[in-house]
Amino acid sequence: MTTPPASIDMNRAPTTDLDERSQGDDLAELTDDCHPPAKPHRWHEEVAKVTLLSDREFQVFRLLGNGSSNRGIARNLRITERTAKAHMSQIMAKLGVESRLQAGLVSYTYQLAILYDIPHFGF
């Protein structure tokens, strides 16, 4: 094993350029750049549209939020995979989302809001 040169203090924490300069304004700038303003209540508008879903679409929606694939949804509901995909298309259109992933996130958010009785979602 190689020993470090005597000029290196192994007990001292490594430094960065930020350590060397004033952190007040620079750190604020970094924070502003790294954290754009968050949209309040992410998925709020989409979750409010859940009431537009039919009973069957809602069943698909719930399974989607639990992480089920189209094949898994079809098997669970005893429908064809093609029918599950058709329901997914309708769900995405009604919620106003662009992808299955977004629909899944809306479903997951909806289920968490119900589980924890979060009132600001308005259902």
Confidence at 4, pLDDT banded by 50, 70, 90 = low
Domain membership flag for residue 31: no
State the Cα–Cα distance between residues 96 and 45, nearest whole angstrom: 9
Domain membership flag for residue 7: no
**Which domain CATH number covers 109?**
1.10.10.10
Domain membership flag for residue 54: yes
Domain membership flag for residue 35: no
Q: Which domain holds residue 103?
A: 45-121
Widest pairwise Cα distance in the chain: 73
Domain membership flag for residue 117: yes
Total count of domains within the chain: 1
The predicted structure's pLDDT at residue 10: 47
Render pLDDT for 16-62 as a digit per residue (tens, 0 to 9).
444 444 445 444 454 455 554 444 457 788 888 999 999 999 999 99
State the Cα–Cα distance between residues 54 and 62, nearest whole angstrom: 12
State the Cα–Cα distance between residues 59 and 77, nearest whole angstrom: 8
State the Cα–Cα distance between residues 120 and 111, nearest whole angstrom: 14
Lowest pLDDT segment from 6-10, 40-44, 58-62, 80-84: 6-10
The predicted structure's pLDDT at residue 81: 97
Domain membership flag for residue 40: no
Domain membership flag for residue 82: yes
SS3 string of the chain? CCCCCCCCCCCCCCCCHHHHCCCHHHHHHHHHHHCCCCCCCCCHHHHHHHHHCCHHHHHHHHHHHCCCCHHHHHHHHCCCHHHHHHHHHHHHHHHCCCCHHHHHHHHHHHHHHHHCCCHHHCC
